[in-house]
Structure 1
Amino acid sequence: MRSIWNGAISFGLVSIPIKLMNATESHSVSFRQIHMEDGGRIRYRKVCELEDREVTQDEIGKAYEDADGSMIPITDDDLTQLPIPTARTIEIVAFVPEERIDPLQMGSAYYLAASGAPAAKPYTLLREALKRSNRVAIAKFALRGRERLGMLRVVGDAIAMHGLLWPDEVRAPEGVAPDAGVTVRDQELDLADALMDTLGEIDLDDLHDEYREALEEVIAAKAAGETPRESPEPAAPGKVLDLMAALEGSVRAARESRGGERAGAAEGAEVRSLPRRAASARRTPKETGGKKSTSTAAKKPAAKKAEAKKSTASATGKPAAKSGRAAKKTADPGTAKKATGKGATTRNTASKGTAKKTAPRKRSA
């Protein structure tokens, strides 16, 4: 990497000679202006207004335009003799936690390289001190004709510096937020959280400039005399009328795009139907005259239960609790025969008599 500035880091009484290099590079595709009729390049020439002629770079200097339009020349010597200590020095003024720096202030990024063998020791000292303190250094430096603010931090085994805007250069967000009175429900926040969880994290190294890649394909196709392939027309976005529906649809789409890995237990659960209950006496209408229907007595378990209750009543001489239904079912020999099936042959005359005695007792509905 080519250095763009040489100077030193001032760390108290310690001076660290360094070289400043750009830490980033632009991969954007640049264009030239041409004359559409014949393809000729359109160029800009630097012309002196007073002499009406083109001038060379050696003849061009700097000047400040005053309020009345007059020009005040400023030479390079004027800039180098400015009474500031940061003309060729990155002066560290404080050490603060990194979270104190507002990302809105961050600008260009640079690498600071140790310049020569004598700079290796103090350079390493500053780097390790920043690591151990978990803080960043705030510094002032002069670059391209003006004093700037910078933040020094450790990146790998190197020290990087981010150019910072001065605090008064960051605008306040007045009039940016929507008017007051907007209420967000807990259900909407829950869906927003679910959407964030579904989207999850991503490795930033996997992201790339798809627009630049598509543009390079167009340039390559036209250079080869081919027709660039047409890209599919993007679908027109629909109007969001229901925020909850939009959030639910977003969560659903995100889960589908992720292959259903985090679809959730609710979506992946097995649905089983409950077994149907056998027909009960509640489906049979009551007979007129207050008598219970005996059509459901054909169930063998019910008949056995009735027998047990009747035998208890015979042994004690008292009707068992809730034996009214069983007694009434056995009052009619024909009905009892249907109700007990094979068990009807085991009944005796004494049990029938007992059933008749208990028949008048009616069970409350």
Structure 2
Amino acid sequence: MPRPLWAGAISFGLVTIPVKIVSATEDHDVHFHRVHLADMGRVRTRKVCELDGEVVSQDDIGKGYEVSKDATVAVTDEELEQMPLPTAKAIEIVAFVDADSIDPVRISDSYYLAVDGQVAVKPYTLLRKALERSSKVAVAKFAWHGRERLGLLRIREGAIVLHSMKWPDEVRDPQELAPKAVEVGEEEIEQALQLADRMTIEDLSGFRDEYRQALEDIIAAKADGKPLPSPTRARRTRRERSWT
């Protein structure tokens, strides 16, 4: 099992379910380091105070909030820990809603909830079956990285998934971005629908990150001292890989 990111409990009425949070996704991006091209040494970032120009040690760095252009207040970790946050170690279910009532734009990161000990198996199964039979999703509140968040619980292949969600006031209104209404003919709409029908598929597993693969091919060639793959050959190779 992947390394747990958080341990706590789901609160469902009088039922408490000890769980661990693990990430539901993996990062496969190619990550570069900043290097000095003359000798390939790593380039480090120094933390410097903008007022006196001195390098600041980690022990002397804290959190500050700018209340005005000329005033900043410091907030300590101790003050943050004393804040009344009932969801500090709990995923508190506060409501159930129809899944199609959730706007996808509000959904952020995804996590799997794993049982934490044998005592959690039965209540975990109870919640899972309740969600499956109701065809609903649970809305929950939980604390994550020093702030309270809204979450969505649903079932995926027998496991409970937690999606972190944006608060209502964090979602921008798209109306100002929508173009002005124009006349579109029925024939044009029908042609668009026919194209959509021809492009409809049932499985997305055949899609591949072609940019990442091309980047890995370049890195491998340079590491082995070989010529870089030509763009035409690379595109053909990636197409062949995408259908294997």
Question: Which structure carries more strand by proportion?
Answer: 2
Instruction: Give the fraction of aligned pairs with identical amino acids, expressed as a percent.
Output: 52
Alignment of 1:52 with 2:63, yes or no, is no
Counterpart secondary structure, 2:68: coil
Shift of 1:78: 2.1
Shift of 1:58: 4.2
Q: What RMSD in Å do the two structures reach over aligned CA positions?
A: 1.9
- The answer for the alignment partner of 2:236 in structure 1 is none
Counterpart secondary structure, 1:206: coil
Shift of 1:109: 0.4
Q: Counterparts of 2:21 and 2:82 in 1: how far apart (Å)?
A: 21
Measured at CA, do residues 209 and 166 of structure 1 come closer, stay the same or move farther in structure 2, by a change above 3 Å? same
Measured at CA, do residues 89 and 63 of structure 1 come closer, stay the same or move farther in structure 2, by a change above 3 Å? same
- The answer for the alignment partner of 1:187 in structure 2 is 187
Cα deviations across residues 44-100 of structure 1 (Å, max 9, x unaligned)?
022455581341x44433333332444433333322221121111111110001001
Q: What is the identity, as a one-letter code, of the residue corresponding to 1:44?
A: T
Cα deviations across residues 201-229 of structure 1 (Å, max 9, x unaligned)?
14111111011001100000111112212
Q: What is the identity, as a one-letter code, of the residue corresponding to 1:98?
A: A
- The answer for the alignment partner of 1:222 in structure 2 is 222
Alignment of 1:93 with 2:94, yes or no, is yes
Counterpart secondary structure, 1:112: strand
For residues 1-365 of structure 1, what are the structure 2 equivalents within 5 Å?
A: 1-48=2-49, 50=52, 52-55=54-57, 57-180=58-181, 182-232=182-232
Q: What is the identity, as a one-letter code, of the residue corresponding to 1:205?
A: S
Between the two structures, name the one with larger relative contact order (CA 8 Å, sep ≥ 6).
2
- The answer for the alignment partner of 2:240 in structure 1 is none
Question: Which structure carries more helix by proportion?
Answer: 1
Q: Counterparts of 2:226 and 2:77 in 1: how far apart (Å)?
A: 52
Q: Counterparts of 1:109 and 1:229 in 2: how far apart (Å)?
A: 36
Shift of 1:110: 0.7
Shift of 1:26: 1.3
Shift of 1:36: 3.2
Provide the TM-score with structure 1 as the length reference: 0.60
Contact 2:46 2:55 in 1 (8 A): no
Q: Counterparts of 2:87 and 2:129 in 1: how far apart (Å)?
A: 24
Q: Counterparts of 1:195 and 1:143 in 2: how far apart (Å)?
A: 43
Equivalenced residue count is 231
Q: Counterparts of 1:108 and 1:217 in 2: how far apart (Å)?
A: 29
Q: Counterparts of 1:187 and 1:207 in 2: how far apart (Å)?
A: 32
Provide the TM-score with structure 2 as the length reference: 0.88
Q: What is the identity, as a one-letter code, of the residue corresponding to 1:25?
A: E
**Where does the alignment leave 5 or more consecutive residues of structure 2 unmatched?**
234-244
- The answer for the alignment partner of 1:277 in structure 2 is none
Contact 1:80 1:87 in 2 (8 A): no
